[in-house]
Amino acid sequence: MQEAHLAVFTYPLPDGVRPSDLARRMEMTPQATNYLIAQVETLGWNAVRPRAVTDVWCT
């Protein structure tokens, strides 16, 4: 894990957060945020759970 990955954990909410909302909070592009989310998910530190809208959940 690198410092950039920690940004994903800075704004977690108990009910999850949409990647687009997370991108706005981190002041990053949605593409960069999705890249970080995918990397962190590969490491097993978060999960993207399907719902009506995809949210990111810290596990």
Q: What is the pLDDT of residues 5-59, one digit of tens each?
A: 777 777 666 567 788 888 898 899 999 988 988 888 888 876 566 655 566 666 5
Instruction: Give the separation between CA 34 and CA 28, rounded to whole angstroms.
Output: 10
At residue 7, the pLDDT reads: 74
Residue 33 corresponds to which tokens in the numbers above? 């945020």
Confidence (pLDDT) at 41? 82
Query: If DSSP codes are grouped into helix, strand and coil, which group holds residue 16?
Result: coil
Residue 18 pLDDT: 82
Question: What is the model's pLDDT at position 20?
Answer: 87
Q: Which two tokens stand for residue 31?
A: 């593409």
pLDDT at site 31 = 93
Q: How much is the pLDDT for 51?
A: 58
Sign of CA dihedral 7, 13, 16, 19: negative
